[in-house]
Chains A and B, each alone.
Chain A
């Protein structure tokens, strides 16, 4: 059963749609990169999956059950604002979380906090650095022993060492328990090495989704003479052109015609091509 599905989900705030007509299915055991520029709708989507925001249209399900204003017991969510009780110490916070959850592993929390350098159990949550706060919040999220872990910008406040520590903890969780992870970032480079599945959203819509290797294999960048574009077959995603040369990003491209070079894109150029395409659609709508 898919840990997370969305069917035609939309969320409107007053007149603006933060998420629109969003359908997706996350397969079990995947580590998903939820990427898109700031304001793309990533946080809204995660908050809806965690039951904190009700969709205006459509339905989300976690482990087959409709999300109806409350988080599924097998799901943990790390919100972007790391909402924790700031007046408590780390030790008190762990006790409070234990009391609030039916299923809780104090051992797992201790283990995770123990792996982190520089988290003091007697420090007040309010005094923690942004990085330490993120790490403590992740430890609490893992204490619920989730089967689906939703992380909103888990790496955004972290210095390189804390970032590495945090990724190790999340990846060890995947290795030990087969947890499905969805983590968002506006920086693709943060997630490139650890994710095997991509969910690219922009303008509130899903632009691209699938296993990273499949998605890359489905696309080609073709480079050739500007005059010869009509010979190229496939679905054109995005093009950049100079007077002489065209660089085309294509899905399901036919073999490159004479005089053209075809290369498999890397993930960065693929994402960039889709984002450019979505921007161009928006500006042409605004012009119309």
Chain B
């Protein structure tokens, strides 16, 4: 019996649509190396049993992941991850970029920045480096 690799959490009060929450959580799990090529995503039925959402929503999210070339639906078998989004740069606590960010975050806290200040700074610098169409 296959054990589920990940479980989706649906926040009903978040402004983000349910299907987008599933897309984002799957991508996040892939970036963090929790989902790797060959892993099976939970079936629509499994998600529905766990979260009481509409199975059509789950299938819609999986179709979007398929369009992005990240997963592949195999008839009668399920939906499988085909691509890796994780890299040495994002996986593990000792990734160099993560360590740099950890250092920066520590200094921000030491200087008395609030979480809102940190978020605002991060978003401003991110937006300078990544054009709007790359952000979604």
Contacts and interface: CB of A to CB of B under 8 A. Distances in A.
A176 interface: yes
Given A193-B18, A266-B15, A31 B56 contact: yes
B18 A172 contact: no
A174 interface: yes
22 contacts: A29-B56, A30-B56, A31-B56, A164-B52, A167-B52, A168-B49, A171-B52, A171-B53, A171-B54, A171-B55, A172-B49, A175-B43, A175-B44, A175-B55, A176-B45, A193-B18, A193-B53, A194-B52, A194-B53, A195-B54, A196-B56, A213-B17
Contacts of B52: 164, 167-168, 171, 193-194
Interface of A: 29-31, 164, 167-168, 171-172, 174-176, 192-196, 213, 266
Contacts of A171: 48, 52-55
A195 B44 CA distance: 15
B86 interface: no
Contact of A196 (B44, B48, B54): B54
Contacts of B53: 171, 193-194
Contacts of B48: 168, 171-172, 174-175
Contacts, number: 43
B29 interface: no
Contacts of B23: none
A30 B60 CA distance: 13
B54 A194 contact: yes
Contacts of B55: 171, 174-175
Contacts of A175: 43-45, 48, 55
Interface residues of B, number: 16
A193 B56 contact: no
A167 B54 CA distance: 9
B67 interface: no
A174 B49 contact: no
A29 B49 CA distance: 18
Contacts of B44: 175
Interface in B7-24: 10, 12, 15, 17-18
Contacts of A266: 15
B2 to A, nearest CB: 17
A168 to B, nearest CB: 5
Nearest to A196: B56
Given A172-B45, A196-B54, 19 more contacts: A30-B56, A31-B54, A31-B56, A168-B52, A171-B52, A172-B49, A174-B48, A174-B56, A175-B43, A175-B44, A175-B45, A175-B55, A176-B45, A193-B10, A193-B12, A193-B18, A194-B54, A196-B57, A213-B17
Most buried by A among B18, B45, B49, B55: B55
A167 B18 CA distance: 16
Contacts of A172: 45, 48-49
Contacts of A31: 54, 56
A250 to B, nearest CB: 20
Contacts of A29: 56
Nearest to A169: B52
Contacts of B18: 193
A48 B120 CA distance: 56
Contacts of B56: 29-31, 174, 196
